[in-house]
Structure 1
Amino acid sequence: MLTSLLPKTKKALLIVLLLATTAFLYSFATFMGEQEWVSWGNKFLTESYDPSVEPKLKKYEIMLTPDHFIRLRKTYQQGKQEYYSFNVKRFTGLDYLPGTGQTDTLQVHTQTDDIIIQTYDDPKGDVDSMATTLSIPVKKIASSRLDSLKQAFLFLKAKGL
């Protein structure tokens, strides 16, 4: 009799633990302020970016600034630079596109052509343009982390209005 109660007790305990963990994480997220979201967003972007997609990439810098801009600067081996920037207050959504191997793509969407794209030291000529979607190569991301990034962007977007 006791052995038949044990699996039910384990299941109940597991459910209680999962609910408690979810409640804790939700309460933590609701108490995070602007600085914590910016810091968390920076950590996420830095850890998730996958430069291996572009073998000629010499260095890169991706950040979420305190004034709510996402900035990505890529420098290639021959000196060409690409610079992408947009304000999170123009954010409209995220798409996560599975790729091949260990790299996926995170697409960040804005309201209209709000993403500034500039190239420097390009042999074909420097170009300034605008876009509505920024595609960022990323390492595999858990859906819970992706949801947290979206929550961070939405929080910062509301702060920027």
Structure 2
Amino acid sequence: MLKPHLPGAVKYIVTGVLLLASTVNYGFDPDVSELKMLGWGNKCLTQCFDADATGKLKKWELTLNANAFIRLRRTYQNGKLEYFSFQLQRLDDMDYLGTVNAGTIKLRTTDADIIVQTYNDRKGGDVDSMASVLSIPVKNMEPEKLDSLRNVLLYFKNRNM
């Protein structure tokens, strides 16, 4: 019985085509892990956000989106609205102050890269400014969860856009 002999380059091409065909057949999506990280990051932020730590909130929203933006919006009972937003590529570091039960995640940027908008503030009116720290009050933040969140944020920070 004769074995077919293929030159080295052809073997690699044939193998690559067969692997590509098998991934299409099995529904492999290279972005699945990124979508899972995005979903897990949002779930972690939502479950751990401590809405009671900043006063009486009417509603709030904290999200990480696919374009690597972190957005926090807080609407207070008195109508005051605070909005924070920044692109994770500007993230310098993340710190945690507190215990497992309650604490604050501090997302820091090198420069004042965090957009801060305040509306309906009786004391200061409507103000647009920039900051270098976004403080996020959290609860039930296990060390493993904090490390995983940090890894997700660093992934999106370093991802090529």
Q: Which amino acid aligns with 2:84?
A: Y
State yes or no: 1:75 paired with 2:54.
Answer: no
Query: Normalization by structure 1: what TM-score?
Result: 0.74
Hey, what does 1:63 align to over in structure 2? Answer: 63
Counterpart contact for 1:68–1:160, Cα < 8 Å: no
Q: Which amino acid aligns with 2:93?
A: G
Counterpart contact for 1:93–1:150, Cα < 8 Å: no
Query: 1:71 offset after TM fit, Å?
Result: 0.3
Q: Percentage identity across aligned positions?
A: 46
| Paired positions, count | 130
Deviations 1:8-59 (A, max 9, x none): xxxxxxxxxxxxxxxxxxxxxxx97322211111011001100111332111
Q: Which amino acid aligns with 1:145?
A: K
Q: Which amino acid aligns with 1:49?
A: F
Deviations 1:53-103 (A, max 9, x none): 13321111101011111000000111110000011111121111016x942
What is the CA–CA distance in structure 2 between the aligned matches of 1:160 and 1:137, rounded to whole Å? Answer: 29
What is the CA–CA distance in structure 2 between the aligned matches of 1:115 and 1:160, rounded to whole Å? Answer: 20
Hey, what does 1:149 align to over in structure 2? Answer: 149
Identify if the C-alpha distance between structure 1 residues 86 and 160 changes in structure 2 by more than 3 Å, giving closer, same or farther: farther
Query: Normalization by structure 2: what TM-score?
Result: 0.74
What is the CA–CA distance in structure 1 between the aligned matches of 2:77 and 2:43, rounded to whole Å? Answer: 26
Hey, what does 1:45 align to over in structure 2? Answer: 45
Hey, what does 2:119 align to over in structure 1? Answer: 120
State yes or no: 1:104 paired with 2:99.
Answer: no
The structure whose residues are more often helix, as a share, is 1
Identify if the C-alpha distance between structure 1 residues 160 and 126 changes in structure 2 by more than 3 Å, giving closer, same or farther: farther
Deviations 1:88-144 (A, max 9, x none): 111121111016x94211111112111110011222211111111111100031111
Hey, what does 1:85 align to over in structure 2? Answer: 85
Hey, what does 1:11 align to over in structure 2? Answer: none
Query: 1:160 offset after TM fit, Å?
Result: 4.1
The structure whose Rg is larger is 2
Q: Which sections of structure 2, spanning at least 5 residues, go unmatched?
A: 1-30
